[in-house]
Amino acid sequence: MSKRNNLFIFILTLGVFGILNTEMGVIGILPQIAEQFNVSVSQAGLLVSLFALAVAISGPILPLVFSRFNRRGVMLLVLGVFVISNIFSIFATNFTFAIIARVIPAFLHPVYISIALTAAASSVSEKEIPKAVSKVIMGVSAGIVLGVPITTFIASIASIDAAMTFFAIVNAVAFIGVLLFVPSMPVRERLSYGSQLRVLKKAITWQSIVAVIFVNAATAGVYSYFAEYLATITHISGKGLSLMLVIFGAASLFGNVLGGRLLSENAIKSVMIYPFVFGVVYIFLFFMGQFTVPMFIIVVIWGVLYAIASNISQYWITSAAPEAPEFANGLFLTSGNLGVTIGTTVGGLFISGMGVRYIVVGGLLFLILSLAFILLRIYMYTPKKQISH
């Protein structure tokens, strides 16, 4: 990969980081936001949940709508809206205004991500696509993993407004990077909306969507209660918990790179083996979670596998609908968000019904369901020689 291409992909990734940082960064400062606007913490949580809902709604729609326009222009539009909305958030005088400033750009979130993934894939050879895509997906992981502690730190030493300013600055830097270094990217073969929507008539598309929903439910259903599990079962809290979160985050960044390499080597086999490997980790988590040293090792492997789920999910849906890349990436984002919602909900039911330890059982059940749909697609659509390759 040339230096010029590396710069191109880095700028795409920076934009993804800025957008995910805006989405997830507020998680760490919800109590301060609640205090500033005189609302409850659960009400402040609407800044996260309504953002995610907007992403899920627009995921399959807006990437399709914008798929006919120059990709560089659309990326500048999305980043520009994020910069402006973040500036409005800094000066928000009431909670309703703060929500509006969050939700409007959220609808454009899938547009930038899907274009970044498509642009990265189209900039390299077919064999290098998973590696290029994994670098862009790393922006997602970095936004989730680094966004929360960075924002929390800025708010603790300065103010909430300073944290919101950080969101605006990151998106502004990405905007300038696209403006200066990303060439015009007109869509040479304009696909009609109908031709893109036709991928929904294919059984392989729906098999892939369902598999991705279950994969994400399996990962998020347990990770969403990561802190609760460590505090209740492993009896780790405070600085120890923060350290575990950092370790998990570092492992997940490595997982993005590893995921890209595994998919480049043998995509079908990697996807097929994934639920088995994660299942083993969950079994160890269930039986060894109360011990600190084994838990440390489990967290490292868990972080790596958690990140690989994004690579696998993106590949599994886009490979099912290669004729409509932007639309397929939108479906990937929506499927992932649905999986997170379902997994988190079911994980909560396991906690309330059986106890924190048993969220792992929910994760295992979702892994089994994902494996069933993965194997169904492989059996129906993959030549045997491709699996053994």
> Is residue 183 pLDDT above 60, yes or no?
yes
Give the mean pLDDT of 269-275.
Answer: 94
pLDDT in tens, 39-83: 887 788 788 778 888 888 888 888 888 888 898 999 999 999 999
The angle at the Cα of 140, spanning 271 to 178, to the nearest 5 degrees, equals: 120
Separation of alpha carbons 352 and 349, rounded Å? 5
Reading the block at residue 387, the tokens are 């699996």
Cα atoms found within 13 Å of the Cα of residue 125, Cβ hemisphere only: 5
pLDDT band at 387 (very low <50, low <70, confident <90, very high): low
Secondary structure (3-state) at 340 = helix
Per-residue confidence (pLDDT) for residue 313, from 0 to 100: 92
B/e letters for 238-260, b = 16+ CB within 10 Å, e = fewer, are eeeeeebbeebbebbbbbbbbbb
Confidence band of 268 (pLDDT split at 50, 70, 90): very high
Q: What is the pLDDT of residue 215?
A: 95
Q: Is the pLDDT of residue 222 over 60?
A: yes
Q: What is the pLDDT of residues 142-165, one digit of tens each?
A: 887 777 778 878 888 888 889 899
What is residue 77's predicted lDDT score, i.e. its pLDDT?
96
Q: How far apart are CA 34 and CA 31, in angstroms?
A: 5
Q: What pLDDT sits at residue 120?
A: 87
More confident residue, 258 or 67: 258
**Residue 354 reports pLDDT greater than 60:** yes
Cβ(351)–Cβ(210) under 8 Å? Answer: no
CB 341 within 8 A of CB 297: no
Is the pLDDT assigned to residue 361 strictly greater than 80?
yes
Q: What is the pLDDT of residue 191?
A: 66
* pLDDT winner (highest mean) among 176-185, 272-281, 372-381: 272-281
What is the share, in percent, of the chain residues with pLDDT greater than 70? 96
Say if CB 261 and CB 132 are below 8 A apart.
Answer: no
Among 84-88, 89-93, 156-160, which stretch is predicted with the lowest mean pLDDT?
Answer: 156-160
> How many other CB atoms are found less than 10 A from the CB of residue 182?
18
Residues with Cβ < 8 Å from 29, sequence gap 6 or more? Answer: 151, 152, 155, 160, 163
Of the pLDDT bands very low, low, confident and very high (cuts 50, 70, 90), residue 302 is very high
Token pair recorded at residue 160 = 């909430």
φ/ψ (deg, to 5) at 202: -85, 135
What would the two tokens of residue 199 be? 């991928």
Task: Give the separation between CA 53 and CA 103, rounded to whole angstroms.
Answer: 9
Distance in angstroms (rounded) separating the CA atoms of residues 87 and 200: 39
* Sheet strands (E) in 124-225: none
What pLDDT shows up at residue 97? 93
Which stretches within 182-323 are classed as H helix? Answer: 193-197, 203-223, 226-229, 239-288, 292-318
Q: Nearest 10 degrees: CA dihedral of 314, 131, 172, 31? A: 60
* Both structure tokens of 7: 């710069």
Please give the DSSP secondary-structure letter assigned to residue 289: T
Share of the chain above pLDDT 90, in %: 34
Tens of pLDDT, residues 234-254: 888 767 777 887 788 888 888
Question: What is the average pLDDT across 215-237?
Answer: 84
Band the pLDDT of 139: cuts 50, 70, 90. confident
Q: Is 43:34 a contact under the CB 8 Å cutoff?
A: yes
- Residue that is written with structure tokens 């997602």 in the block: 140
**Dihedral, CA of residue 381, residue 383, residue 388 and residue 389, to nearest 10:** -100
pLDDT of residue 133: 85
**Average pLDDT of span 361-383:** 91
Is 228's pLDDT higher than 80? no
pLDDT value at residue 149: 76
Mean pLDDT of the chain: 86
Which class for 149: exposed (0-12), middle (13-18), buried (19 or more C-beta within 10 A)? middle
The torsion defined by the Cα of 116, 118, 124 and 129, in degrees rounded to 10, comes to 100
Summarize the confidence of residues 167-171 as an average pLDDT: 93
Residue 87 has pLDDT above 90, yes or no: yes
φ, ψ dihedrals at 274, nearest 5°: -50, -50
Token couple for 147: 């966004």
Question: Quick one: which of 79, 85, 76 has its CA closest to 104?
Answer: 85
Helix (H, G, I), strand (E, B) or coil at 319: coil
Mean pLDDT value across residues 17-35: 83
